[in-house]
Structure 1
Amino acid sequence: MRNTKRKIALITGVSSERDIGTAICRKLASKEIDIFFTHWLSEVGWADTFQKELLEVGVRCESLSVDLSHANAANLLLDATSTNLGFPSILVNNAAHSTSDGYLNLNAKTLDDHYAVNMRTTFLLCTEYARRFEKLKMNTGRIINMTSGQELGPMPNELAYVATKGAISAFTKSLSVEVAHLGVTVNAVNPGPTDSTWMTEEIRKHILPKFLLGRIGMPEDAARLVAFLASDDAEWITGQVIHSEGGFYRG
């Protein structure tokens, strides 16, 4: 394990130019935080190009192509980060699995596929991070989980996604109590509908009037909030699910 005085962040789910995860990496790198990111099924060569971009900012950067549905993914990621950069003081669980279903199509495989990424690996990353943090006797840690505001309103035809992502909010609140004595804060961010890889022009036209601030959310909006929660200024914030949606109106 290499020692460094600079903060190190582990960010999952960084697989394309328009990802929220990509914006988070850029924002944290701009704060002189070293980056380890994961990607999966990205375009050939994209991850290498993005890694080079972050290196040119002046931070250290490593990445790993990994299927987060594997049961041992959490240990693999923390081992790889620690070996290549050092143990991270910041963990951002951004990766998500999502496919449309609805009650007519929901089945065991769909549920299991969502559970493996959205819940199992996210939760195991959080808990294994906390265990290693305690053994290393570190002073300050940040866990930031990305959710999607499932408890604020219905998301028809996304039953497996809603169930598994919604569980992150409850998990975040309870874990924050268990690890507070370690100096680790645990929060979740709901960025609201964000113009990233999933949004079409039809969807944009439909939801734009629902944003009270007059525009659709961008990945950079989420990245700014994550960067704040990862900073020293956010040391007094834990156990929160922060809905940063630009006034998105569900009525």
Structure 2
Amino acid sequence: MRENKVAIVTGASRLKGIGAAICRELAVAGFDIFFTYWTEYDKEMPWGMLNEEPQALKDELEKMGVKSFSMELDLTKENSPQKLFESLTLKWQSADVLVNNAAYSTSNDFSNLTTAELDRHYLVNIRATTLMSIEFARRFNKNSGGRIINMTSGQFRGPMPGELAYATTKGAIDALTITLSAELASRGITVNAVNPGPTDTGWMDDETKKALLQRFPFGRVGKTEDAAKLVKFLASEEAEWITGQILHSEGGFLR
């Protein structure tokens, strides 16, 4: 019996989050799932999370008929990619897909941004994404079919006042995606990025949602499954000729 392909998804702490939605969509496509989470960060954020959410996601995925493993992982640590892949190889020989979904985001601007806060954004959004991608590529042992999918936020489509550190570090993911795609094509790995646009993951209050609705031609805000379905396509065999692209799954959002 043919074994399922394996997908790694970082930053899947919350059941309402994009990471969890990506895990579900990849499970629908028949991937076994290895996901990471970091409860300390999400508990500090306004949306919060419950301790049992990662286990609930794992149980949900297994009920869908795939294997699922998870680990709590602090992506600010230099050795986090090695720890992840060492843990993964105890379950599977290798992975076929890496989705760099984890992100660090706090509100700040030129008047209050500190060195420490900028560093925290850099460590998760840029360093971890880069090093995780490198570790995946070095360990990829097939002739083709490898997929790296980064999550970006459309920084080059318009400014993000009040999110200076986030916009700066997430914007660099576009450059990483384009250059890394050229380097890894010979190894049979595609590299793309997905911009989900404003997505309701539990952070939108009624006032925010009302303001955003006016800027979506379809009359609704983004759902987590919108971007997750695009990730599922990019992870598929049908997407083998797509690489080095930043794809915008944001329903025609007007800036």
- For the superposition of Structure 1 and Structure 2, which TM-score range results when normalised by the shorter chain? over 0.9
Asked if the contact 1:8/1:86 (under 8 Å) is kept, the reply is: no
Asked if the contact 1:4/1:86 (under 8 Å) is kept, the reply is: no
Structure 1: tracts of 5 or more residues without a match:
none
Deviation at 1:138, TM superposition (A): 4.2
Match for residue 156 of structure 1?
A: 161
Deviations 1:167-224 (A, max 9, x none): 0000000000000011100000001100113222211011101001221110000010
SS at match of 2:214: helix
Paired amino acid for 1:115:
Y
Paired amino acid for 2:36:
T
Mapped partners of 1:85, 1:19: distance in 2: 26
Mapping of residues 1-251 of structure 1, within 5 Å: 5-41=3-39, 42-133=49-140, 136-250=141-255
Structure 2: tracts of 5 or more residues without a match:
40-48
Paired amino acid for 1:87:
S
How many residue pairs match? The answer is: 246
Q: Give me the TM-score of the superposition, normalised by structure 2.
A: 0.94
Deviation at 1:77, TM superposition (A): 1.1
Paired amino acid for 2:104:
H
Mapped partners of 1:86, 1:202: distance in 2: 48
Q: Give me the TM-score of the superposition, normalised by structure 1.
A: 0.95
Deviation at 1:4, TM superposition (A): 6.6
Name the stretch that deviates more: 199-208 or 78-87. Answer: 78-87
Paired amino acid for 1:17:
L
Name the stretch that deviates more: 69-78 or 223-232. Answer: 69-78
Mapped partners of 2:90, 2:2: distance in 1: 12
Q: Percentage identity across aligned positions?
A: 52
- What's the Cα RMSD here? 1.3
Mapped partners of 1:197, 1:10: distance in 2: 23
Segments of 4+ moved more than 6 angstroms:
none
SS at match of 1:84: coil
Mapped partners of 2:154, 2:62: distance in 1: 34
Paired amino acid for 2:5:
K
